[in-house]
Structure 1
Amino acid sequence: MDRVKIFNGRIITPCRMLERGTIVIENGCISCVSAEDVTAGDAFEINANGNYVAPGFIDIHTHGGGGYDFMDATVEAYLGAAEVHAQYGTTSIVPTTLTCTNEELRRSFEAFRKAKAINRKGADLIGIHLEGPYFSPEQKGAQDPRYIRKPLKEEYERIFEWSDDIVRWSAAPEIEGAMEFCRYASKKGALMSIGHSDAIGEEVAEAFENGFTHVTHLYSAMSGVKRINGLRVSGVIESAFLIDEMTVEVIADGIHIPPDLLKLVYKIKGPSRTVLVTDSMRAAGMGEGPSILGSLRDGMEVIVEDGVAKLPGRKAFAGSVATADRLVRTMVKSAGVPLVDAISMITATPAKVIGIDDKKGSLAAGKVADIVIFDQDINILTTIVKGKTVYEREQPPVKLA
């Protein structure tokens, strides 16, 4: 229906929590947020039953889920992953590619464009994140080393010609040509992010001055303090903490980063400069066992166990299998972060970082009605995208006396 009323919920707004509040949705947008019950005419009513009502989760770094990877470069993969993530409270995603051939990139761009036009049942596809191929070989992580290379102007100009949907790009700023590349990509509207980098502090400072304003999966595949000629120098991790204006993202599954380091990130950067991301691969939302990182055709074999994907030798992680609800749960239950702040780190903050905070990321009149309802254990009960319910948890049957 064009008008929906959500009532009897603990509504998390940008500035407070409304106990037993009400939200009215009209034509896919929020028209009213109230601490009291309000009349909404012939609206379809959703009783939140005292559960939490929050902005829909925004994941700005995900490679797939539910058996799908965006490197499969099919419409089915984009739509399937979007539907799976919606079941876990995510209402907007930035599909992320891996280091690969340009032909694979182009196929994935085309699949994204087609999927975005017909997506009605899953998380909103808000743009593409290119993770690579301009990385440090020393910090490649699970990225395929066959395709890691230096940025060439004719190449990245051509890539931008292929798609208008690129909203962020992760690269290592210390490699040759990275500064010129960053300045060009920033002018094209892409959020530039330091990732898979072995940079030292001076290089990170120069990168920030040239437009690298964000850090991809802090602590994962990046430099920390090290010695050069016997002297200690800072790395990307320390620089991210030192540069107040720089935003960071963390894979808050409790495995990529343990709870004590999640507490440290929260203490130093705070909720307004910390983004929770899944960095999920195709096995997210599925069971343990063998899987593929990247495309089915040319991806890397991995093993999923202990709640994370690992390379076959088990010497390194190969992507996350987390879903957004798990990130919030970890921050609250394991890292001791207040719920309101944890929600901000997966709603308002990523919306601002990716440049969509005028439309998404908070529950306020005029914003798109992307909403999630969850219980005290962060179990997702209802997911609403653009005013339409795309997921509703099945309730157990009532036992009769």
Structure 2
Amino acid sequence: MNRLLFTGGTVLLPTGFRRMDAAVSGAVISALAPDIAPEEGDVVVDLQGDLLVPGFIDMHVHGGGGADFMDGTADAFLTACRVHARHGTTTLYPTALTAADEDMDAFFAALETADRARKAAGASAGARIGGVHVEGPWLAPAQAGAQDPNYLRTPSAEECEKLLARSDRIAVVTMAPELDGACECASWLAARGVLPAMGHSAADLEQVRTAVDSGFRHMVHFYSAMSTVRRENSCRIPGMVEAGYLFDAVTVEAIADGHHLPLSLLRLIHKVKGPERMALVTDAMRGAGMPEGPSVLGSLKNGREVLVEGGVARLPDRSGFAGSVCTMDRAVRTAVSAGIPLEDALRMASGTPSKILGTAGRRGAILPGMDADLVRLDGDLNVIMTVVGGTIFDLNPHPEK
């Protein structure tokens, strides 16, 4: 079997940046050493001093390239996978919005078709689908944000069973933990290997404490659509944000697009939570990788009209954000511009989400035996090459269907 051999670059290892060669055999990393002798048939890639880092893992993404996963077509899934691979994402978790049952049926049907097509096509199809993130419909109406309030519901064991019966690919479910039945559902999901996440919530700190005891371990898009400290008469009541900082068992994700969070807050989250408990996500909608202008959040048939301008998606009245148009390479650059060390920013885009999602034994680090999901970055942190499962992905844009 011919190897893919990377030479002449700096590799991000779990111990830090090292001048190192890396060999890939098939779909896995086979060797790391300062000088690896080429073998007959090797495909040698001279990094010319560039960085070789673990492929990015986006655990919260709705679409890109003009496609939304809620469009419910295999083409939509594959389009988004290709677009995000061009920006260094090697594994993504298609995220479903609060929607009508017919849209959810189409989402899960398209997931299976797209995943088979992606596996058949290999790296040419772009980022692999790691699993599904279901965001809603069990959200607090007061913190619904751009989610459609017409489909919000209260969680129950019966609803959880129906959800998991749809697919065995569900990895994350986001709920407002203060809703009746949410904590019971979290315990039920956690026992079945699904990560219960808190989000779109008006919970106070004590409600979050109960939620953590029930199995919740993660907060989605930290600061966005969640409660913070409030006053009742003369007393201050801590909210979700304060609880996220306080509880070490809770990991958080941040939309590092430079709009959802100012750089000072990105730096604060990193300072308090550290790179092991803070993941970077895009929360990207269909406008990622597309020209700015009118767009749609959710399915083209039943989604909400939004406006992409100034590098972010907004509600038409500009009263709030409606997802981002960020990509993971942009998220890394934004984190670095906030003063977060490059090594930490890269780990928060790969190793940390992998640990949160329970895949750290396969992805998120450059080590022998790990999946050969790699990204080459130049000195300005632009993506020069994406490798998915040991195969180089073609970064040149292709016409999207």
Instruction: Give the distance between the partners of 1:376 and 1:336, measured in 2 at CA.
Output: 17
CA offset digits 1:28-55 (Å, max 9, x no partner): 1000112234334421111111111000
The SS at the match of 2:380 is coil
* 2:376 aligned residue: 373
Q: Is 2:320 the counterpart of 1:312? A: no
Structure 1 position 2, deviation (Å): 4.3
Contact 1:128-1:168 at 8 Å conserved across structures: yes
Report the counterpart of residue 114 of structure 2 in structure 1. Answer: 115
The residue type paired with residue 193 of structure 2 is G
1:35 counterpart residue number: 34
Aligned to 1:364, what secondary structure does the other structure show? coil
Asked if 1:55 is matched to 2:54, the reply is yes
SS in structure 2 of the partner of residue 77 of structure 1 = helix
Q: Deviations over 1:333-352 (max 9, x none)?
A: x2111111100001110000
**Residues 55-94 of structure 1 aligned to structure 2 (within 5 Å):** 55-94=54-93
Structure 2 CA distance, aligned partners of 1:347 and 1:211? 24
What pairs with 1:350-365 in structure 2 (closer than 5 Å)? 350-365=353-368
The SS at the match of 2:323 is coil
Q: Deviations over 1:269-320 (max 9, x none)?
A: 0101000000000000111100000000000000000100000000100000
1:158 aligns with 2:159: no
Output one character per residue of 1:63-91: Cα deviation in whole Å (capped at 9) or x when no partner.
Answer: 00000100001100111100000000000
Note the residue ranges of structure 1 that are not aligned, 5 or more in a row. Answer: 395-401
Verify the 8 A CA contact 1:86 1:391 in the aligned structure 2. no
Q: Which amino acid aligns with 2:220?
A: T
Cα distance per residue 1:355-398 (max 9 Å; x no partner):
1111000000000000000111111100000000113469xxxx
Provide the residue aligned with 2:338 in structure 1: 335
Match of 1:385 among 384, 388, 399: 388
RMSD of the TM alignment (CA)? 1.2
After TM superposition, where is structure 1 displaced by more than 4 Å over at least 4 residues in a row?
none
Give 2:196's aligned amino acid.
Answer: M
**Structure 2: where are the runs of 5+ without partners?**
none
- Distance, in Å, in 1 between the alignment partners of 2:232 and 2:62 is 35
**3-state SS of the aligned residue for 2:322?**
coil
8 A Cα contact 1:381 1:393, kept in partner: no
* One-letter amino acid of the counterpart of residue 16, structure 2: R
1:135 matched to which residue of 2? 139
| 2:316 aligned counterpart, secondary structure | coil
Counterpart position of 1:399: none
| Aligned-partner Cα distance in 2 for 1:54–1:314 | 37
Structure 2 equivalent of residue 398 of structure 1:
none
Contact 1:195 1:221 in 2 (8 A): yes
Q: Is the 8 A contact 2:156 2:182 kept in 1?
A: no
State the identity as a percent: 45
Q: How does 1:2-401 map to 2 (within 5 A)?
A: 2-19=2-19, 21-119=20-118, 120=122, 121-332=125-336, 334-392=337-395
Count of residues in correspondence between the two structures: 392
Moved more, 27-36 or 209-218: 27-36
Aligned equivalents of 2:182, 2:234: Cα separation in 1? 27
Rounded Cα–Cα distance in structure 1 between residues aligned with 2:386 and 2:209: 40
